[in-house]
Structure 1
């Protein structure tokens, strides 16, 4: 199971400090990250995504990286979904089953007005009290949803095309 946490800020500088605090929590083993980004919207409404530098990056498998990229893209970057192919439609359906529904995405979009920023965290484990204590000085608006492990696995299989066709002995 993963937690998807989006913390919105009115100021990019505060979001950048919160982003660094999450990295420190990762280094202190208070958070196990599957993905981390700071998203800012400039005065012109353009969205910019910053992720950890390669030297600081969360070690992700190709599947986990694709999953994080899809979740980040669907939650933050997809302005609206019109006509889509069957594969993308299936992935969107899986995200909805995982709890990343239109309501959650709309709340995230409301946080990301021009001039604002958000820290987006996908974590497999969080020490809640340490996380809350470390993030409290930055304030912000917190949105959170849970991504169940079985749904995450289904989405990862759909991303990689490795559906479970094999029978299991039992």
Structure 2
């Protein structure tokens, strides 16, 4: 089963900078990246920039529509029109079935702020210790995942070491 994790970085460039590390981990078969996207929010900007990391993903990649709707729910809801808002509400109900609920959205929205960035990573079969070693020390923080609470606690524990 694929896991969606959101990693916060303390600079606007931080999330983008791990792309090459993730590619290397994938080549070593230490993680299978189903899809990935980056949110970068420069200081002083009113909203973040988003980018799907297509060169990391394979056949199972999600569409840009998925990321667009998810990021719309998290970052741009006040800007959406009524028709798009209704569609987002319907999508929100479906997303809650896979662990993307109001709590997930609120957590990400409160953590990803101007001056930071985030990596949204849909992955499978990760060797967590090796993935942790590849991320910049002290600069990546797991802010949310769709794992159950026990699994998420174990993941946080590994990355806290």
TM-score by length of 2: 0.72
CA shift in 2, pair 1:89/1:96, >3 Å: same
Deviation of 1:128 (Å) = 1.4
Q: Equivalents in 1 of 2:72, 2:87: separation in Å?
A: 18
Q: Could you tell me which residue of structure 2 aligns to residue 109 of structure 1?
A: 109
Q: Equivalents in 2 of 1:110, 1:24: separation in Å?
A: 31
Equivalenced residues, count:
142
> What pairs with 1:1-170 in structure 2 (closer than 5 Å)?
1-42=1-42, 43-52=44-53, 56-61=55-60, 64-66=61-63, 69-70=65-66, 72-78=67-73, 79-80=76-77, 83-84=82-83, 88-135=88-135, 137-146=137-146
Q: Equivalents in 1 of 2:20, 2:72: separation in Å?
A: 22
* Aligned Cα root-mean-square deviation (Å): 2.7
Contact 2:7 2:118 in 1 (8 A): yes
Unaligned residue ranges in structure 1 (runs of 5+): 149-170
Deviation of 1:89 (Å) = 3.9
Contact 2:33 2:56 in 1 (8 A): no
Match of 2:18, SS state, is helix
Encode CA deviations 1:87-118: one digit per residue, 9 max, x unaligned.
65443211012110111111111222112111
Q: Equivalents in 2 of 1:144, 1:118: separation in Å?
A: 11
Q: Equivalents in 2 of 1:101, 1:51: separation in Å?
A: 21
List structure 1 runs of 4+ shifted beyond 6 angstroms.
none
Encode CA deviations 1:13-59: one digit per residue, 9 max, x unaligned.
33222232222212221111111122101221222123335xx3411
Unaligned residue ranges in structure 2 (runs of 5+): 149-161
Q: Equivalents in 2 of 1:35, 1:46: separation in Å?
A: 23
Whose radius of gyration is greater, 1 or 2?
1
CA shift in 2, pair 1:75/1:141, >3 Å: farther
